[in-house]
Amino acid sequence: MSYFDTASSAPLHPVARQALQAALDEGWADPARLHREGRRARMLLDAARQTAAEAVGCRPDELVFTSSGTRALHTGITGALAGRRRTGDHLMVSAVEHSAVLHTAERHSAGGGTVTEVPVDRTGKVAPDGFAEALRPDTALACLQSANHEVGTEQPVAEVAEVCRAAGVPLLVDAAQSLGWGPVPGPWSLLAASAHKWGGPAGVGLLVVRKGTRFAPQDPAGERESGRAAGFENVPAVVAAAASLRAVRAEAAGEAARLRELTDRIRARVPEVVPDAEVVGDPVRRLPHLVTFSCLYVDGETLLHELDRSGFSVSSGSSCTSSTLTPSHVLRAMGVLSEGNVRVSLPPGTGAEEVERFLDVLPGVVAGVREKWGAGADAPGAGGELTVDAVGRRCPVPVIELAKVFGRVPVGGTVTVLADDEAARLDIPAWCEMRGQEYLGEHPSDRGTAYVVRRVS
């Protein structure tokens, strides 16, 4: 079985396993106590903090360990907003932030605060100028991920951080996906990350608040981790997290170059071997191990199951794989195809033969899923304007039905698709973009929403 989902969680690094086992014997006591066992645990905790701080590029007393990356984000955002409440209650986030950031923003808005989502381009990247334009005199905090968790696009963090510093606004960076590959550049103010993304144990996050940043923790006061992370420190897990971060950093340059060659191969080959497939995300400024593509006329959940049966563990941002039946907010913000979405994120040590086997298997799997869904070539014939009724049917059916009848209308003719699946709002325009046809827009209908497409070729 080939595990290609390290963007969700990386396998435990061998160094993390060794450090964890050793620390279970030596670091089990309360590091706040003055007896021998407590002092030993405190030494291990302090050493781990020093190691992690060196990797991040901050002072040890600026870094605390939390119970998860999500907890670090929640604490960082709420604490920074509270610390700057006299400035205002305006929060800025990019439209493609992790759900942990967006959920915190929703709560802030529900509590009376104001939130601005900064849009991204089709590659998933924000523009520093766009970020600057969204800043206001009452902006208390801005948030920007270092690299996107779904498509791998790296953000211009250093440039945005300079913009924020010039405006006197702290920038919080979610570095969960990138910290294992290198430090985050620029004068950011806060940073959050999660150990299981780089091969450390789950249940360990880190939060950095640089000196001079106004910060007021919103949880009940505690004595642990400078009052910013409640609860008894999991010293063995923290030690393993710091040790693995140092280890993956030592390997990062070589692994990045090697894995980038493999993901470049996937980016180039998928459109060649799979008809009607779109590779998304920035082709250059991206994480070295991650590549995402979407396939027309494919149900994402079925595709993932079939790839799993073929020996490949991958992930997806398709609405068809979501309990909410709504497209990934990242893909939606980018304006790219959401159906049949596959995210491949390679672990360190992945061999070229594994990637070649994946590329050999993928075309047959996609073709098989398309056959199950009844997707075929454009239907021949002639006629005028056509209407397709796909109300009550999930993705990818609306686009499949569009493709089936599209060949029946002459150049200049239109096809109207009636659908009530939220994914159609994203996937029908994306289909037009991929096929070189004209999307005329949408309007309310007695049965769902009407999406209108004109045939131009």
Residues belonging to the active site: 320
* Residue 143 tokens, joined: 């948030």
SS3 187: coil
- Tell me which residue of 449, 446, 409, 451 sits closest to 432, measured CA to CA: 451
Task: Determine the Cα–Cα distance for residues 431 and 295; give it in Å rounded to an integer.
Answer: 10
| Residue 354: Cβ-neighbour burial (10 angstroms; 0-12, 13-18, 19+) | middle
Task: Determine the Cα–Cα distance for residues 111 and 82; give it in Å rounded to an integer.
Answer: 13
Q: Are 401 and 296 in contact, with CB atoms under 8 Å apart?
A: no
Which residue(s) pair with 442 in the sheet? 451
Q: How many CA atoms lie within 13 A of 178 on its CB side?
A: 25
* Residue 18 tokens, joined: 């060794």
Angle of CA points 287, 202, 33, to nearest 5° = 125
Strands 171-174 and 190-194: parallel
Task: Determine the Cα–Cα distance for residues 135 and 274; give it in Å rounded to an integer.
Answer: 43
Task: Determine the Cα–Cα distance for residues 356 and 346; give it in Å rounded to an integer.
Answer: 13
Q: How many CA atoms lie within 13 A of 2 on its CB side?
A: 22
Distance linking the first and last C-alpha atoms of the chain: 43
Name residue 266's amino acid: I
Question: Starting from the edge strand earliest in sequence, which strands make up the sheet with 63-66, in order?
Answer: 63-66, 205-209, 190-194, 171-174, 139-145, 90-94, 114-118
Q: Are 132 and 370 in contact, with CB atoms under 8 Å apart?
A: no
- Tell me which residue of 247, 254, 258 sits closest to 180, measured CA to CA: 247
